[in-house]
Structure 1
Amino acid sequence: MKHKFNRNHFLALTVIATPLFSSALPATAQKTPAGKRSVKGGSWIDLQASTDKLQYQEGETIKVTLKATNIQEKDAYLKFSSGQRFDFSVYKVGDKEPVYTWSANKSFTMMMSTVKLKMAERETYNAEIGDEMGPLKPGNYRLKPRLANSTNIRGLTIDFTVVPKVAATDKRATLVAKTNKSVYKVGEDVKVDFTLTNNPSKATTYNFRSGQNYDVFVKNAAGESVWNWSANMRFIMISRPITLAAGEKRNFSVQWSGQALPDHEITPGKYTVQAVYASDPEIYAPPITIEIR
């Protein structure tokens, strides 16, 4: 399915690529910010990938959307050797081997086909990360997308996090964060204050794997981490415990200069700010959405 892409207002029409012998996902229509251009010099297809959230509880469904847009000033032709239109692999951040590949254990019709995209036309594919290669354990993950055409067009990676599933009756510490404003100018300082409140009924010991106690992440609308507080810091690598009394609170504050890490840029749009208490397991504050104009 194809449709015209207007750079100011568009309706994302979802196309489901259904592999042979596998069940189709329900079609959804959604609006997703274009985000950072996801092609390298010379490529004629812009491939964007996104997840429906930045953080998931262990076992929660992770929805993935891929969008391929013709950005050259003439028709583009995508040649496929099977019914497979796309693929993506998921890596634990820092690892070289994937823990999940979408096409693994799927079968596709072996048939040559060509998809024509007129100038600014787009194809959209929806998928879910399943557990056929085993469930994703808590941690930070990186998704690498590609088209399954003859030239294997690739998009920029996106990051997401899986956290331990917490039972409703678990009264472990909670982490709450806030920013000093909700709307900022490009390059303006962003102050993030966050408070850890321990279990109100008993003392709790938290274990750490290094000298780092906390972190703050900023992600763009495409799910890419454009800044985090600890990026250029070094911490002593030693296991250590910290015990908090019942109901004890710890306050933290971080200031972001509004500048991105290398290879990223800050452009007007919406961003997600999330504070993390770096214990093992980590404790995450609910994400905060800010706007940069």
Structure 2
Amino acid sequence: MADDLLADFVRADQEKSLGCYGIHVHREGGTPLSHRFRSDDRVNLYSVAKTFTAVAAGMAVAEGRFDLDDHFLDHFPELRGIAADGFERVTLRHLITMTSGSTHKWHANERIDAADLLHEFVAAPLDAEPGARFQYTGSGPYAIGRLLARTTGADVKAYLEPRLFKPLDLHNPAWHTCPLGFPFAESDLFLRTEELSRFAQLLLQEGTWQGRQIIAPAYVRSLPADPVDTSSLSEYGPGFTNGYGLGVWLSGDGTYRMDGAYGQYAIVDPARRATVTVTAHSTDDVALLDAIDTLVLQRL
């Protein structure tokens, strides 16, 4: 049950029909708080999966598999013949931050008719210089998933299994795949609220879990450190205009968050040494995010 800290949030969910499934609050040195609004099932985290893929890329960098400033086609030279003009300048960082400049737009809820989605993405024309424009799409993170498979011999789920999922006791989470069998990477990873909160806590602790360094601290710090400009997204609300880092959205107040459709949030607050994790099926993401901020985060 929620204690007094969560009481107003629980009431707001009921009164405003925010659609929450569960909330979990981690406070460093304090007792965890949680409240369930419905059964504790694993749910689709949607674009929160992008953060897991960005972290997987950081782990591979630490292993010397590649560098984020590598050009993608250097790892897929066989695709140079079909690549759009300018795609040779697209780096792995551009793909993670969704600034490739490609006109290709795809998300995991959309049917894949191409024989190979990666080929379709690489061949799509560019209408902006790589790095110059943010466009929200799953194409780049999906390509990073394919890169992980190419450079490590394991798809993103299999790669994370011993390195991240097992240490956090996230037992065999489902991750939907494309027709070729590669995890979507940008979406469709399934976890429970509290399971996702462990990942948020890991980032708060700069990659350390139970005395073991799982992610390089410098890489965790880099996730929100150099965001790309997202000021053009004002129609989506203030939570989307403060920049996008390596798989995370910046909130403008020192916090950053993983963010998936219908209200899947894992917010990391380094100043308060806390995380807030919510899963939901919300029809008003802006109202839900505002309730988390005003009724929970600001009261910690």
TM-score, normalisation: structure 2:
0.21
| Structure of higher RCO (CA pairs closer than 8 Å, 6+ residues apart) | 2
Larger relative helix fraction: 2
Larger relative strand fraction: 1
